[in-house]
Structure 1
């Protein structure tokens, strides 16, 4: 119900206060982290919660992280009820089978006290570059059970009553390959939560505890009202879509994800019944990851500007049958679901609602985070290293604009690691980093271009893991738009032999191996012949498509020497 005690202006002021605290947490985490994966790529997320574990505000970080963190906080509070929490406590958890995504994502959860009373919870998540397991990076595609993927932290206090637990710190340091970086990032996570504690206490002292609690509650109610209002504008009915993953790392069999979106007045149910059984390889999506994908896709389509908090998702129900690829049974491996399965789940929801929400829909993006890791022992520095990155691709086109080129899409929102940082931090040389011309799906609005990076490895017997997809099935277009081009990965041996890799591989490579990774383009939106000829010419001038492609894909005649459009011939071809 609408509160009579909080007016709209006050609620807006408090909303911005909460979100500012979450953003300040993120800035602190990023600026104090040690690994390139966090300080450069920003593979982390931050948020604040009520003392009961209800999401209040989050920073604009990684959608996958932010959508699953609430379930983690709730589970931790079940294990540590209010009377067991102490001021200065900090809890670590990464166990996907309590709640979470995969083992490299370590959550830091801290209670916030004011005058000996629990008033809020601060939480953050950071993707650590190694947590043990079969291979550097802890995401081997050959893992067949969670025990092979790294150390599991089942909600343990790394700080008690404000005192860091040195035994837990030693345990962590000795069970990972890159202990210095992992501990550095853990300390950054502690610092981020301390910023939240300071900010929330300042709000309480400025306005009063009861006022802060009431504003938290009303902010969630406000988001709930807006989301339900958006759902009511969608025609009631059942809408389905099916898409596929290209193997699990053990086999290359197609893996089906079936999605039914049921709209009923002001509620939505997303049902994954009929999806593939859980797999032997590590592409199984935990319930938390699956939920995050649902929340992201529906919010993006229905009410993208609504403040994201617990109220935003009250109207959404998720049916994810146990023992399937979207909700596996223990101890199924899960490390690669973040990179691939999460993206395909989001794709199916966008696909299911495209026909009834054409003006808000988007063609398929590259469809994978293109997870890529390289690790081993760096003899020059006498230490282990672990390079972890996800590569952007083409965004799907929309009803009124082209897809963006070479960006992270849907469930990921990280940055790229700059070439200079890669070459300073790791024993690699970057020969090339560029967009893949011609990879965007043709349409009235073109799909975004994929990107290409070429690395030369300067050391011997490094372990390479590729967690990709869309090598065979193109990212689909919408309403007559064509699909984007597929991804690929090529290895060139020191002897010059070229080998094409499958989309999911873990392998050891010798010194001076070259790896060329190309990511998929986004799908096009609308019939290509409807594209503005001037936009086609622009793509030709920029080198994104050739003169021949302009003719055969878009029916636009361009003089190769003058790079001018022959409008007369173009109109004749298009009209016929």
Structure 2
């Protein structure tokens, strides 16, 4: 086997990760929508010429893990890209996400040879569909969730295909904002291409290609070494979503984990079948949660690339809601099901390595979408945001409060930005005291966030979970407090709202999210048991 100089490889690996970070910075600072420029609900990555993920920035885990399994199927549909081509795609059954996550992919050519691909994925605040924000609480099929974009070339040999752009923008509520965000994604690709060209000048194109392959092999070796250190055997775990948004029945994830030598297998036999509501997931979403969880189990310093998954096999039974088939609704699969997948996998890992795994975090992205016509200018607007909650208590200390955990690490929309950008008012924003589970290391507190509609009528969509089944504690720690949704109507009356659904609010009415706390880790001190 040909060896690659380890010092040169480490220099290259860090340069690639810095490139992905710079791509993200360009995307954030040139985007139009607060969801990207404030919350950074977007991710950037670099792939080999064979479409293997080789470097990523520390952006959104659910994006990057699913892109890892989705870029190759996308390129299989388009064929190898030529210099100046840019592919656009959001079809979940190809791109592995939900419709608001639009992905752009471009090749990197050095001396007329394709050496890599760069990609950016961003959550757009609207892509059409039955509700503003394109995250309806009660969709039953994919066509209700927005425009489906198969893998098509937005640019051919550097020339914008205006008919493709016009088709996309004609199917959304906020076309100018969408154009701006797509151009920001394109700018991120361009800086990625430029930095890869710089690396080729520095290392030579052939050495660069060899280096990309060496990085993946190096990660695989480290991953196999970590797997070999773990106990061998079979473990089981299960957890569930509150419901699918269509019925009150819980939706179960059942998992068998088997470790043998330097390999690990995940088997989801027994998991609930495809459902009518929108918590269905496509298979790359499942791989995304596995990718994230494995780094927690083994070594957080492992380079985040495809080499991590080479010792991994996954079995998802046919007809299971984790491998949904067209035209299933899937928008909450990205936000809610990936979180429950992570909870289930980590519950299994807690049996394998109890000193490494935290109790359950809030387990939901607490998504809210609001849209209507802005009375200040007469134009449609769409506001979308996910809210944090409590992190689970950890072996080394208490969980953090009011943060995103596991499959999302996005920021909040600052109140000032929210109220300037939209005809909305934030009337409460605080930690939810007493929501974290007690334990030797207590779970973090959830949040309370209340948004009021100002001078107009608006549609509000909620996609939340852990309103019925609490985030679990571990090793004697107490569960976190489940979340709650409610609305304040004009006379001040409070009305409970379901975990998933859409509702119309008038001027002065508000929607309130109380997000779950994290579970506690370990037996609480004796005096806390006595007080309880």
TM over 0.5: yes
Alpha-carbon separation, structure 2, partners of 1:116 and 1:463: 51
Alpha-carbon separation, structure 1, partners of 2:48 and 2:242: 41
Mapping for residues 386-397 of structure 1, pairs under 5 Å: 386-397=382-393
Alpha-carbon separation, structure 1, partners of 2:512 and 2:135: 20
1:352 maps to: 348
The counterpart of 1:15, out of the listed 13, 32, 36, is: 13
1:183 maps to: 179
TM-score by length of 1: 0.91
Alpha-carbon separation, structure 2, partners of 1:471 and 1:346: 17
Alpha-carbon separation, structure 2, partners of 1:302 and 1:445: 22
Does structure 1 conserve the Cα–Cα contact (< 8 Å) formed by 2:32 and 2:180? yes
2:463 maps to: 467
Alpha-carbon separation, structure 2, partners of 1:512 and 1:146: 33
Q: 1:200-253 CA deviation, whole Å, 9 max, x = no partner?
A: 111111111111111111110110011111111111111111111111111121
2:286 maps to: 290
Mapping for residues 75-90 of structure 1, pairs under 5 Å: 75-82=73-80, 85-90=81-86
Does structure 1 conserve the Cα–Cα contact (< 8 Å) formed by 2:375 and 2:456? no
1:459 positional shift: 3.6
Alpha-carbon separation, structure 1, partners of 2:384 and 2:418: 10
**Runs of 4+ with deviation above 4 angstroms:** none
Helix, strand or coil: the match of 1:241? strand
Helix, strand or coil: the match of 2:352? coil
1:379 positional shift: 2.3
1:427 aligns with 2:406: no
2:531 maps to: 552
1:74 positional shift: 0.1
1:70 positional shift: 2.2
1:365 positional shift: 0.3
1:71 maps to: 69
The counterpart of 1:112, out of the listed 108, 113, 123, is: 108
Alpha-carbon separation, structure 1, partners of 2:78 and 2:351: 46
1:99 maps to: 95
Helix, strand or coil: the match of 2:354? coil
The counterpart of 1:154, out of the listed 145, 150, 157, is: 150
RMSD: 1.2
Q: 1:75-121 CA deviation, whole Å, 9 max, x = no partner?
A: 12212333xx2211111000011232100000000011122221110
Helix, strand or coil: the match of 1:92? strand
The count of corresponding residues between Structure 1 and Structure 2 is: 532
Alpha-carbon separation, structure 2, partners of 1:76 and 1:347: 29
Does structure 1 conserve the Cα–Cα contact (< 8 Å) formed by 2:69 and 2:287? no
Indicate the larger mover: 442-451 or 491-500.
Answer: 491-500
Q: Which runs of 5+ in 1 are unaligned?
A: 534-548, 554-576
Does structure 2 conserve the Cα–Cα contact (< 8 Å) formed by 1:58 and 1:66? yes
1:225 maps to: 221
1:329 maps to: 325
1:122 aligns with 2:101: no
Alpha-carbon separation, structure 2, partners of 1:97 and 1:81: 17
1:495 aligns with 2:491: yes
Alpha-carbon separation, structure 2, partners of 1:529 and 1:22: 45
Alpha-carbon separation, structure 1, partners of 2:142 and 2:50: 30
Alpha-carbon separation, structure 1, partners of 2:346 and 2:41: 24
Alpha-carbon separation, structure 1, partners of 2:424 and 2:285: 32
2:40 maps to: 42
Alpha-carbon separation, structure 2, partners of 1:512 and 1:249: 27
Does structure 2 conserve the Cα–Cα contact (< 8 Å) formed by 1:484 and 1:524? yes
Q: 1:437-473 CA deviation, whole Å, 9 max, x = no partner?
A: 1111000001011011122111433111111111121
1:255 aligns with 2:242: no
Q: Which runs of 5+ in 2 are unaligned?
A: none
1:382 aligns with 2:361: no
Helix, strand or coil: the match of 2:231? coil
Q: 1:247-268 CA deviation, whole Å, 9 max, x = no partner?
A: 1111121111101111111111
Does structure 2 conserve the Cα–Cα contact (< 8 Å) formed by 1:141 and 1:250? no
Helix, strand or coil: the match of 1:433? strand
1:147 positional shift: 1.1
Helix, strand or coil: the match of 1:186? helix
Q: 1:398-434 CA deviation, whole Å, 9 max, x = no partner?
A: 1111001010000001000001111111111111211
1:441 aligns with 2:420: no
Alpha-carbon separation, structure 1, partners of 2:325 and 2:513: 33
The counterpart of 2:365, out of the listed 358, 369, 378, is: 369
Alpha-carbon separation, structure 1, partners of 2:237 and 2:291: 17
- Residue 422 and residue 480 in structure 1: after superposition, are their counterparts in 2 closer, same or farther (change >3 A)? same
1:571 maps to: none
Alpha-carbon separation, structure 1, partners of 2:250 and 2:232: 32
1:550 positional shift: 8.9
Alpha-carbon separation, structure 2, partners of 1:283 and 1:323: 14
Alpha-carbon separation, structure 1, partners of 2:95 and 2:314: 16
1:61 maps to: 59
Alpha-carbon separation, structure 2, partners of 1:96 and 1:330: 9
- Residue 456 and residue 254 in structure 1: after superposition, are their counterparts in 2 closer, same or farther (change >3 A)? same
1:551 positional shift: 6.1
Does structure 2 conserve the Cα–Cα contact (< 8 Å) formed by 1:322 and 1:329? no
1:508 maps to: 504
1:26 maps to: 24
2:50 maps to: 52
Does structure 1 conserve the Cα–Cα contact (< 8 Å) formed by 2:296 and 2:357? no
2:513 maps to: 517
Q: 1:302-346 CA deviation, whole Å, 9 max, x = no partner?
A: 121100111111011111122211111211100011221110001
Mapping for residues 205-224 of structure 1, pairs under 5 Å: 205-224=201-220
Q: 1:381-404 CA deviation, whole Å, 9 max, x = no partner?
A: 111111100000000011111001
1:540 maps to: none
